[in-house]
Amino acid sequence: MSTAGPIALASDAADVSQTSIYDAIRHDILSGRLEANARLKISELAKQHNTSTNPIREALQQLRGEGLVLFTPNQGARVRPIDMEFVRDVAEVGYQLEPYLLKLFVETASAEDIAELERIQSEIEAINFSNKARHTELNHQFHEYMYERHYNRVAFGVWKQHREILGSISTRVPIAIGRQEAIIQEHRELIDSIKAQDVNLAVSTLNRHIQDAGRHVVDQLRINQTRSRGRNG
């Protein structure tokens, strides 16, 4: 199983003082620096973040509450593996929540809101998938902008949490050419339907968009899995 080696020098080590331990570990999990099922040894993490064990323990417990870290008694913490089923499940949860969040935005969007959406969209089109991490970030912004002022903070929180998980693996998976065109097209249609204040159209466009997106990620994961299985066994 190896992986005994020290885990690739933690988060930048420079400005650790500013960002909290929790944020750092969380980021390391979502970015993939800490890989699936990796053991999270508290003393090791304590060294990496130049702190003692208690802050680490507490951060891990918080992440446990979020479901990003798994505990086994007397054996400590492991990184929650983000496998195909998990991604599919998370995507489907988002699929249930996102239309609900969108509705209010369509009904209340101002001209400035739409302008902002178009600005983000133009940036997405400008980089045109040349930088995957940046694309994922912009895509996240596009959606988040529409929901962040929703009155339902619980729904927004759940959505965001799951979106981050989804985004974390999106960056590690290729985006097919056909899917790239579809993403841009769907975003445009979404903006148009918001402009037209057409809630139903917006929701159905969104449904198509996120369903396709989820399916695409799962498909890519399936391909990856098949490949590595071919290599190993």
Partner DNA sequence: ATTTATAATTTTTCGTACATTATTCTGACG
Partner DNA sequence: CGTCAGAATAATGTACGAAAAATTATAAAT
- AA identity, residue 17: S
Judged by CB under 8 A, the number of residues near a copy of itself is 31
Q: What are the residue ranges of helices labelled H in the chain? A: 21-31, 42-48, 53-66, 84-108, 111-127, 132-147, 153-170, 177-195, 199-232
Q: Is 44 in the site for DNA (CB under 7 A)?
A: yes
Closer to a copy of itself by CB, 4 or 14: give it: 4
Structure tokens at 1: 């199983």
Closer to a copy of itself by CB, 83 or 125: give it: 83
Q: 3-state DSSP call for residue 26?
A: helix
From the number of C-beta atoms within 10 Å of its C-beta (0-12, 13-18, 19+), residue 16 rates as: middle
Q: Is 53 in the site for DNA (CB under 7 A)?
A: yes
- Best CA proximity match to 136, nearest among 94, 164, 97: 164
Q: Is 199 in the site for a copy of itself (CB under 8 A)?
A: no
Closer to a copy of itself by CB, 77 or 183: give it: 77
Closer to a copy of itself by CB, 151 or 230: give it: 151
Contact of 34 with 82, CB cutoff 8 Å: no
139 vs 149: CA distance, rounded Å: 17
DSSP track, 173-195: S---HHHHHHHHHHHHHHHHHHH
197 vs 109: CA distance, rounded Å: 9
Closer to a copy of itself by CB, 96 or 185: give it: 96
Q: Is 164 in the site for a copy of itself (CB under 8 A)?
A: no
Q: Is 51 in the site for DNA (CB under 7 A)?
A: yes
Residues 73-132 that bind DNA (CB under 7 A): 73-77
Judged by CB under 7 A, the number of residues near DNA is 19
Closer to DNA by CB, 54 or 185: give it: 54
Binding-site member from 7, 16, 38, 42 for DNA (CB under 7 A): 42
Which of a copy of itself, DNA, none does residue 31 bind (CB under 5 to 8 Å by kind)? none
Cα 14 from chain centroid (whole Å): 25
DSSP 80: P
Binding-site member from 19, 52, 61, 180 for a copy of itself (CB under 8 A): 61
Q: Is 100 in the site for a copy of itself (CB under 8 A)?
A: yes
Binding site for a copy of itself (CB under 8 A): 1-2, 54, 57-59, 61-67, 85-86, 88-90, 92-93, 96-97, 100, 151-155, 157-158, 162
Residues that bind DNA (CB under 7 A): 39-44, 51-55, 57-58, 71, 73-77
